[in-house]
Chains A and B, each alone.
Chain A
Amino acid sequence: EPEVTQTPSHQVTQMGQEVILRCVPISNHLYFYWYRQILGQKVEFLVSFYNNEISEKSEIFDDQFSVERPDGSNFTLKIRSTKLEDSAMYFCASSENQETQYFGPGTRLLVL
């Protein structure tokens, strides 16, 4: 069964450093999403991406964040200058028809 994959599974970084989280969505899917979940809290929408551009973003997704689909298969989330409060699990999801979303296993980011 096709699945969304994410790398790395864990990332530890120093405050102020840039991180890139990678996702490979399911191959025939057209809609892509990033979410985050701070430990013990709810899943929060960050951004949706369709047709090579951002279709919607939340208040959390400020200028420190960017997304890219560089090569037609990978979908990346970049955090330019990480803050302590960026520590969370980051989930990528993809969808064929803007209905059912399939989530990747997540990247656990720890900012020290």
Chain B
Amino acid sequence: RKEVEQDPGPFNVPEGATVAFNCTYSNSASQSFFWYRQDCRKEPKLLMSVYSSGNEDGRFTAQLNRASQYISLLIRDSKLSDSATYLCVVNFSGTYKYIFGTGTRLKVLA
């Protein structure tokens, strides 16, 4: 099983739709979780950290399910500008190592 796994997509959704991505991780000792956004040929940019209690930032909601070892990202009322690749990142407890998933491509269509 891969350390961090994501559905590569692409997810093609119309403007205004709600879309959700999941990411599974293999190491139960994982400590920190993040969603990053990467535009084509650009650097990853932090979208949000994922906390045990779940967190929301505007149209974006992230949740963590430790029992099932996955994190999710929900985007409501999607905009054309949300089109990007969404990267799941996991840090394993006691390490300085951050593992990236392959990313999920989202295309929001007009």
Residues of A with Cβ closer than 8 Å to B? Answer: 31, 33, 35, 41-45, 48, 50, 55-56, 58, 89, 91, 98-106
Contact = CB atoms under 8 A, between A and B. Distances in A.
Contacts of B42: 105-106
Contacts of A31: 96
Interface residues of B, number: 20
B100 A43 contact: yes
Contact of B96 (A43, A44, A48, A100): A48
Interface in B93-110: 95-103
Nearest to B32: A99
Nearest to A50: B96
A103 B45 contact: yes
Nearest to A54: B96
Interface of B: 32, 34, 38, 41-46, 49, 87, 95-103
A99 B49 contact: yes
A45 B97 CA distance: 7
10 contacts: A43-B44, A44-B100, A48-B96, A48-B97, A50-B96, A99-B49, A100-B34, A101-B98, A103-B44, A103-B45
Contacts of B99: 45
Given A99-B32, A105-B42, A42 B100 contact: yes
